């Protein structure tokens, strides 16, 4: 059997048709044209047509590109017949390198406005009128080039061990609901040695404004780990009339507050998937929760009195002692949930890790440029592509609403097709017996049908 790469009517990612249709419904090209203006590029043509170039970068990311060279994925077969704005990776790389910090802020405004429109035109944030979660966290993306601007040694965990790695540190705020997977409301790239909470209060304020613009009319709950236990972060949540649930750092004042909890106040907590002893029916997990009142940031302008909810588990390193040795994990919250529900809700902050996993398995596998602002623009484009994929899944089917990004690409985006033009009318012929044909057809119909009249 011989192999020839000579068919110019085939495409490998036909799902980009409905995905980019959703992007245009959300006003991506118009928003970029209005908000992003690059007038000081070293070569004037480099900054020309930012709307088309951002669309090309986002389309490449949605199709699986994780570096600038990978953006060539949108230049094959019949892609130029499907899309008019198809650029070479070298052109897109030069475009990204023309970004400054101000241009990155302009692109971030596109991210926020586009998310608000996606939330209004697709069910990507279903349930936001009842309950919305805003989770903030950061990660360290390791880089190997010593000349990458902003690359510094920062703390990271690999295989459960803490160590220092050279990298860049994106700070991310996501919004989600009990029915919807997390969307990226704000993203900011920082140097690898940046403290986790640096810039967190400002980013949180942006994310909360975006959540409200996206239809969050019910309670908004801000969740974070102990790296964000700071008065500025709590005050940012309170100024936006949002509730908070933030892990506290261990210190003598926290320990003294925990010591005031009476022994009979501890309640066993059942976590999802908890295992029961078949003989006694009791939970094998020994986790218990209780709460007390605590005044945080006393004597500062951020002083707040709220509930200190504490979870304790037996220390497995001291199982042979006469009296149990407990390990305590506490968080500060001002919600009205029961103690157990507050603990369960707080622990679901870990959902932000699924967003990180999708980014790392996709466009943030690399930060591809030596220029810091080019990498910052790349990170914002990655956030836009993530939100587009989530909107794609929520439009396609119930199953795809919470599916992983790799699953969405495999089922709905990277679908091979042959482009034909019988009687001058373009038709995409997709594979027969495609397992997710119904979901794809529903997505295509919803994305390409004319919008309702105003």
The closest alpha carbon to 187, from 313, 376, 426, 417, belongs to: 376
Q: Let me know if residue 291 belongs to a domain.
A: yes
Buried b (16+ CB within 10 A) or exposed e, 58-74: bbbbbbbbbbbebbbbb
Q: Let me know if residue 292 belongs to a domain.
A: yes
Residue 288's CB is within 10 A of a number of other CB atoms, namely 18
Q: Which domain holds residue 258?
A: 248-334
H or E element, residue 137 = strand 131-138
Contact 76, 14 (CB under 8 A): no
Q: Let me know if residue 238 belongs to a domain.
A: no
Ordered per-residue pLDDT tens for the chain, 454 residues: 888 888 888 999 999 999 999 999 999 999 999 999 998 877 878 888 999 999 999 999 999 999 999 999 999 988 888 888 789 999 999 999 999 999 999 999 999 999 999 999 999 999 999 999 999 999 999 998 888 999 999 888 777 778 888 999 999 999 999 999 999 999 999 999 998 899 999 999 999 999 999 999 999 999 999 999 999 999 999 999 999 999 999 889 999 999 999 989 998 887 665 556 565 555 556 788 999 999 999 999 999 999 999 998 876 555 655 566 678 899 999 999 999 999 999 999 999 999 999 999 999 999 999 999 999 999 999 999 999 999 999 999 999 999 999 999 999 999 999 998 877 788 899 999 999 999 999 999 999 887 665 5
pLDDT at 86: 87
- DSSP for 33-71 reads HHH------SSGGGGS-HHHHHHHHHHHHHTT--STGGG
pLDDT at 274: 57
Distance CA 412, CA 434 (A): 10
Look at the chain and report how many structural domains it folds into. Answer: 1
Burial (CB count <10 Å: 0-12, 13-18, 19+), residue 221: buried
Judged by DSSP in three states, 339 sits in helix
- The token pair at 114 is 């586009």
Distance CA 370, CA 397 (A): 40
Distance CA 60, CA 72 (A): 8
Distance CA 112, CA 131 (A): 19
Judged by DSSP in three states, 245 sits in strand
Strands 326-333 and 243-247: antiparallel
pLDDT at 108: 97
Contact 129, 218 (CB under 8 A): yes
Q: Let me know if residue 318 belongs to a domain.
A: yes
CA 42: distance to chain centroid?
33
DSSP 27: T
Distance CA 296, CA 433 (A): 60
pLDDT at 280: 57
Contact 191, 169 (CB under 8 A): yes
Q: Has this prediction a pTM greater than 0.85?
A: yes
Q: Let me know if residue 152 belongs to a domain.
A: no
DSSP 375: H
Q: What's the CA angle centered on 211, arms 205 and 214, to 5 degrees?
A: 145
Please state the φ and ψ torsions of residue 268, each to the nearest 5 degrees.
Answer: -65, 140
Q: Let me know if residue 452 belongs to a domain.
A: no
Q: Let me know if residue 276 belongs to a domain.
A: yes
Contact 283, 270 (CB under 8 A): yes
Distance CA 43, CA 426 (A): 38
Instruction: Compute the Cα dihedral for 166, 167, 169, 174 and give only its sign.
Output: negative
- The token pair at 323 is 């009296």
The closest alpha carbon to 342, from 327, 354, 357, 332, belongs to: 332
Residue 165's CB is within 10 A of a number of other CB atoms, namely 18
How far, CA to CA in Å, does 173 sit from each of 68, 112, 263, 405? Answer: 25, 11, 38, 18
pLDDT at 235: 96
pLDDT at 102: 95
Q: Let me know if residue 405 belongs to a domain.
A: no
């Amino acid at each position: 059997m011989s192999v020839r790469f000579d068919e110019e009517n085939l495409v490998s990612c036909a799902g980009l048709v409905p995905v980019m249709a959703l992007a245009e419904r959300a006003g991506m090209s118009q928003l970029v044209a209005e908000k992003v203006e690059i007038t000081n590029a070293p070569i004037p043509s480099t900054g020309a047509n930012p709307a088309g170039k951002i669309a090309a970068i986002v389309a490449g990311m949605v199709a699986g590109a994780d570096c600038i060279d990978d953006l060539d994925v949108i230049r094959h077969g019949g892609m130029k017949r499907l899309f008019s704005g198809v650029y070479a990776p070298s052109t897109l790389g030069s475009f990204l390198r023309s970004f400054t910090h101000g241009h990155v802020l302009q692109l971030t405004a596109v991210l926020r406005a586009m998310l608000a429109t996606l939330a209004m035109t697709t069910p990507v944030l279903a349930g936001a009128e009842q309950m919305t979660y805003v989770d903030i966290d950061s990660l360290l993306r390791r880089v190997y080039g010593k000349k990458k601007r902003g690359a510094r040694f920062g703390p990271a965990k690999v295989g459960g061990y803490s160590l220092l790695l050279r990298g860049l540190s994106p700070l991310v705020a996501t919004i989600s609901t009990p029915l919807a997977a997390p969307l990226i409301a704000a993203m900011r790239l920082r140097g690898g040695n940046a403290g986790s909470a640096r810039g967190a209060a400002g980013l949180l304020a942006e994310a909360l404004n975006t959540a409200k613009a996206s239809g969050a009319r019910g309670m908004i709950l801000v969740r974070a780990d102990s790296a964000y236990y700071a008065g500025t972060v709590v005050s940012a949540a309170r100024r936006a009339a949002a509730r908070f649930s933030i892990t506290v750092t261990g210190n003598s004042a926290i320990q003294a507050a925990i010591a005031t909890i009476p022994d009979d106040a501890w309640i066993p907590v059942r976590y999802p998937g908890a295992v029961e002893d078949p003989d006694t029916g009791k939970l094998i997990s020994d986790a218990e929760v209780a709460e007390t009142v605590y005044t945080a940031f006393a004597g500062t302008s951020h002083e707040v009195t709220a509930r200190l909810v504490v979870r304790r588990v037996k220390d497995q390193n001291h199982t042979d002692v006469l009296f149990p040795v407990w390990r305590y994990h506490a968080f500060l919250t001002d919600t009205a949930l029961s103690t157990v529900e507050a603990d369960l809700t707080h622990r679901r902050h870990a959902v932000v890790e699924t967003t990180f996993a999708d980014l790392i398995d996709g466009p943030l596998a690399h930060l591809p440029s030596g220029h810091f602002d080019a990498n910052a623009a790349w990170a914002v484009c990655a956030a836009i592509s993530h939100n587009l994929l989530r909107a794609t899944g929520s439009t396609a089917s119930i199953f795809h609403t919470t599916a992983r990004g790799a699953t969405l690409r495999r089922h709905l985006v990277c679908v091979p097709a042959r482009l034909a033009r019988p009687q001058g009318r373009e038709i995409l012929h997709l594979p027969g017996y495609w397992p997710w044909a119904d979901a794809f057809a529903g997505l295509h119909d919803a994305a390409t049908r004319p919008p309702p009249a105003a």
